[in-house]
Structure 1
Amino acid sequence: MNQRLDDRRARLVEALRAQRRTLASERLPLTATQQGIWIAEQLSPGVSGYHDTAVLRMDGPLDTEALRLAFGDARAVHEAMRCRVVETDGEPLQSFDAPAPDVAYSDLGAVGPQTRGARVERLAALAATEPFDLEAGPLWRARLVRLSADEHVLILVVHHLISDGWSHGVLLRSLLSHYAARSRNAPPPAVPDGDGYRTWLLHRVAQERAAVEGGRARHVAGLLSHAPYRVPLPGRDDRAGDRLSVAVGLPVAQRTWTVFDRACRRAGATPYMGLTGLFGLLLARTTGGRTAVLASPVALRAAPGTADLMGCLINVVPVAVRILPPTGPAQAVAAGRDAVLTALRYADVPYRDVARALGPLPTADDPVTNVGVEEFNAPEERVRLGDLTVEPQPRGQVRLRHDLALSIPRNATGAQLLHPVGRWSPGESRSFAERLAELIGEAATASARDE
């Protein structure tokens, strides 16, 4: 009896190993989101808007060998870091055998303190815009910049074919936890399922195919009766071609953010939903329309184990905020909640196929709308690793695919408007941010009166 159980167990183990070997060598199709990114990169290599740049300042004694080994550990853990995209018979497929890059190194120790900042920005800009060789891989690069013995800056650029806003945080936390273990000769941290990302990819491709074949893309397109949606934003200059963007902070006091958060929760909304509604209200008032359609990336991480995966696990959904007179800020918060919940019901539907179902559309970076809203999940907090302090720096070198986007951090505080530098005058963008801040204040005040 025991022998039979041992034989069955051995056969099962071998079958699982064989399955893993097959999956490891298999070239997988791209999701619809990845296909759109791949096409954009063919048209505008390096400046497509799909390079994600993280800059970390490191103060204190840095173990450079431990950092190098930590990158190797992160690459071993996260399948996406081994991904490259190979075109076969005209179809892009992803393979997971890309080589490991060397961590580049620059020493600015001999450069005067007054010019170091500009030199670091220059290095970050070059790293952010240098095209990746998608076929050869890898689709990420890193550069360590030495400022002095106890001052370093790490520049990390990852292509969105293998990453998303959520993954930005996954990768940084993974890298730092492995560095901490290496520098202390401690056991490595726990890691996610080795085949989790590829398993997710296969499921997502099948889900997308079913959604399109089931007519759900046509259904979503039918909900967007006035698409394509183009906001004639005041002061916009369409002649400016570069998409390098600037961030404009919303002038909102911390106390107002706190009250606004309570207002959203009283309305059954998250701050993200509430801000989406207020953004839609401002756009509707600007255009005189009754609907604001916003492109919003959505994390597809409902399945167990996906929270710790790195990869392109997103879809974009059109969020249609309905603004009917006399909608005010409090009603707009509820409208944002309803719009986001409706959009999430169609997260399985590829955004690309929604655009196709809308019919002939003008050529543009986004064929559905020129405004977007995002929830940015990158770590912002300072991390202590023994005597070393690691602090994420503000986002830089963002190339935006919309004329205007609202970027909302996890706790909403610090929300920013992003827009291409050359397409808006500074005065107009500040005015727009001030008007949105006023709506946030009005929503908070109205809620406080009702308490």
Structure 2
Amino acid sequence: MTKTTDHSRTLVLPLSSRQEWCWEWDRCYDGPYPSAVSLDCSTALRLLGPLDTGALRDAFAEVTLHHDALRLRLDGDRDLIAGVVRPQQTLSETPLPLEEAELPDVPPALLVDLSTRPFPVTERLGRADLLRAAPDHHILLTSFHHLVFDAASHHVFLRDLAGAYNSRVPGGAGGAGGAGEADGTAPRPAFSYLDLVRAENTPRSLEERALRLTERARLLRAYGSGDLLPGRTPGPPALRHRYDEEPFELSARRTGQLLHAARAARVSLYSLLAAAFATALGRHFGRDRLILSTPSHGRLRPEHHSAIGDFANMVQIPLDLSHGGGRGMLRHAHEAVREAAAAVDLPYGRLAETVLGRSGTDGFFRYALAHAELRLHGVTGWALDPQGDDAFPMHGLRTDVLPMHQDFSRLTYATRQSSDAAAATLSLSLTMTPDGRLTGALRHETTYHGPHTAHSVLNHLQEHLTALATPSGA
């Protein structure tokens, strides 16, 4: 587990560079903070069998004490937090409480309700409920704000919780160090999320990062950051949007050809797809420069992989389409992707503020610096490889993670700037399936980028990928 740090309750720290992008995004939605329910990370773990609730309570306390990020809270007046451009945070000395309640006959509705309740952000940024359906049937529902939790944190949390629980029940394997020590492997490196925040805020780090941020902002402006893609609707879009998706799928044979083309050009599959997607967008909109955006997991050091916290950030990939559609464009995209990955530690809010300016205390939407988003799942790269749920067995119990579905279609944007950026950004999400196919969809706002735009862009993308898949196309 990560090490427990001995800090005063009055210790006040700024947000990390990774937390800042989440804070900006959170403030893009209307209503009292935190109305953006999409920014919490909830897990529903079903526990079947004779549960030792005391051991689970102690295990949960141990995990939250070892992972500093789970005890962070925003510093300041709760009623004024929403208007603060960059809040500070403090560390609680006590673990998160584990509440217990009976599970009603309609659990899905309750789980969604519990997982979307606003956080008392000046008290804590997480909560946990142990729901009892029967003596041998429980659901552990944990919800953490994205400020202190990212996608990779789910597995770390459940693995460490299982290790701590097993060390407390008769016959359970494991020890206080968690799964790493239980199976005889070397203990995971000690790490404190607060150390990451401190390291980012030394005078030398701040000075070096400010120089890099200025150069990055200059590059993004040169590629049209803030110059939105034109849409069909005249005037500004409404503050509440409707989204639709156009499916996109490649056969296993075509996907294999693209993987071969990427290897031949010595680029990643993501770089190849970025080049093709940008080219398709350029053809439809008549642009020779575009910026793609993607979330990066941001876990750059080995010890980050055993830590809980928000390490992710939005990174921007500026692409110049004058390189043509062949190998030259692939190499250009590959270098742009590498440079974007190296900028993952630049605070998103400050970067957006430098490029776009700020109107009052308005937050920046997560895609505000880019024209389109490209995500690729199931392939090593931007997202950490998923790990099986069976990696955290709890002694005497059968555990499985229940799917959590939340409806975000009714969210309303708080400002015109956020609304514009959200509507104008096209988002292509692709997944590599176990049978070797690329499948996904292009998400678009229905009145700004209607189905005609989506169909046109995907047709151009299909044509370009077909060309790349042939020996002469790369």
Normalised TM-score (structure 1): 0.74
CA–CA separation in structure 2 for the residues paired with 1:321 and 1:263: 20
Match of 2:365 in 1: 365
Cα drift, residue 204 of structure 1: 1.9
Contact persistence 1:52–1:159 (CA under 8 A): yes
CA–CA separation in structure 2 for the residues paired with 1:144 and 1:187: 22
Cα drift, residue 293 of structure 1: 0.8
CA–CA separation in structure 1 for the residues paired with 2:457 and 2:331: 21
Matching residue within 94, 97, 100 for 1:101: 97
Contact persistence 1:256–1:444 (CA under 8 A): no
Cα drift, residue 271 of structure 1: 2.7
Q: 1:152 to 1:349 in 2, by over 3 A?
A: same
- Code of the residue aligned with 2:149 in structure 1: it is S
- Code of the residue aligned with 2:71 in structure 1: it is R
Match of 1:404 in 2: 426
Cα drift, residue 202 of structure 1: 0.8
Match of 2:35 in 1: 47
Cα drift, residue 426 of structure 1: 8.5
Matching residue within 13, 16, 23 for 1:31: 16
Q: 1:167 to 1:218 in 2, by over 3 A?
A: same
- Secondary structure of 2:249's counterpart equals coil
- Code of the residue aligned with 2:400 in structure 1: it is V
Match of 2:71 in 1: 82
Q: 1:142 to 1:21 in 2, by over 3 A?
A: closer
Q: 1:149 to 1:40 in 2, by over 3 A?
A: same
Contact persistence 1:168–1:378 (CA under 8 A): no
- Secondary structure of 1:94's counterpart equals strand
Cα drift, residue 136 of structure 1: 0.9
CA–CA separation in structure 1 for the residues paired with 2:460 and 2:406: 23
Matching residue within 336, 339, 342 for 1:342: 339
- Structure (1 or 2) with the greater helix fraction: 1
Q: 1:46 to 1:404 in 2, by over 3 A?
A: farther
- Code of the residue aligned with 2:103 in structure 1: it is D
Deviation per residue, 1:87-114 (Å, 9 max, x gap): 2897732222165132454524x45xxx
Normalised TM-score (structure 2): 0.71
1:285 aligns with 2:283: yes
CA–CA separation in structure 1 for the residues paired with 2:246 and 2:57: 35
Match of 1:6 in 2: none
Deviation per residue, 1:245-272 (Å, 9 max, x gap): 7776642334443443343233322333
Contact persistence 2:34–2:118 (CA under 8 A): yes
- Secondary structure of 1:305's counterpart equals helix
Matching residue within 92, 115, 124 for 2:87: 92
Match of 1:271 in 2: 269
- Code of the residue aligned with 1:263 in structure 2: it is A
- Code of the residue aligned with 2:89 in structure 1: it is Q
Match of 2:157 in 1: 171
- Code of the residue aligned with 1:163 in structure 2: it is F
- Code of the residue aligned with 1:136 in structure 2: it is E
- Structure 1: runs of 5+ lacking an equivalent: 1-16, 112-118
CA–CA separation in structure 2 for the residues paired with 1:358 and 1:38: 18
CA–CA separation in structure 2 for the residues paired with 1:438 and 1:151: 49
Contact persistence 1:227–1:368 (CA under 8 A): yes
CA–CA separation in structure 1 for the residues paired with 2:137 and 2:455: 38
Contact persistence 1:79–1:195 (CA under 8 A): no
CA–CA separation in structure 1 for the residues paired with 2:62 and 2:232: 49
- Code of the residue aligned with 1:252 in structure 2: it is L
Q: 1:233 to 1:261 in 2, by over 3 A?
A: farther
CA–CA separation in structure 1 for the residues paired with 2:120 and 2:191: 24
Match of 1:72 in 2: 61
- Secondary structure of 1:186's counterpart equals coil
Contact persistence 1:245–1:418 (CA under 8 A): no
Cα drift, residue 162 of structure 1: 0.6
Aligned residue runs from structure 1 range 25-424, under 5 A: 26-38=11-23, 41=26, 44=29, 45-48=33-36, 51-56=39-44, 58=46, 60-61=48-49, 63=51, 65=53, 67-87=56-76, 92-97=87-92, 99-103=95-99, 105=101, 107-108=103-104, 110=105, 120=108, 122-137=109-124, 139-143=125-129, 155-179=141-165, 185-188=172-175, 189=178, 190=180, 192=188, 196-206=192-202, 209-213=206-210, 215-224=211-220, 225=222, 226-232=224-230, 239-242=237-240, 250-324=248-322, 326-327=324-325, 333-358=330-355, 360=357, 365-366=365-366, 367-374=368-375, 375-377=382-384, 379=386, 381-383=388-390, 385=393, 388-391=398-401, 393=403, 396-397=406-407, 402=422, 403-407=425-429, 416-417=440-441, 419=443
CA–CA separation in structure 2 for the residues paired with 1:230 and 1:434: 19
Match of 2:415 in 1: none
Q: 1:78 to 1:193 in 2, by over 3 A?
A: farther
Instruction: Compare 42-51 and 72-81 and name the one that shifted more.
Output: 42-51
Q: What is the number of equivalent residue pairs in this alignment?
A: 421
Matching residue within 452, 455, 462 for 1:438: 462
- Structure 2: runs of 5+ lacking an equivalent: 181-186, 376-381, 412-417
Deviation per residue, 1:377-419 (Å, 9 max, x gap): 4736442737625256376556897443344568896664474
- Code of the residue aligned with 2:373 in structure 1: it is G
Deviation per residue, 1:215-261 (Å, 9 max, x gap): 32221122121221422356899645347977766423344434433
Cα drift, residue 340 of structure 1: 0.7
Q: 1:177 to 1:259 in 2, by over 3 A?
A: farther
CA–CA separation in structure 2 for the residues paired with 1:236 and 1:168: 43
Q: How many percent identity over aligned positions?
A: 20
Cα drift, residue 51 of structure 1: 1.5
Q: 1:170 to 1:228 in 2, by over 3 A?
A: same
- Secondary structure of 1:161's counterpart equals coil
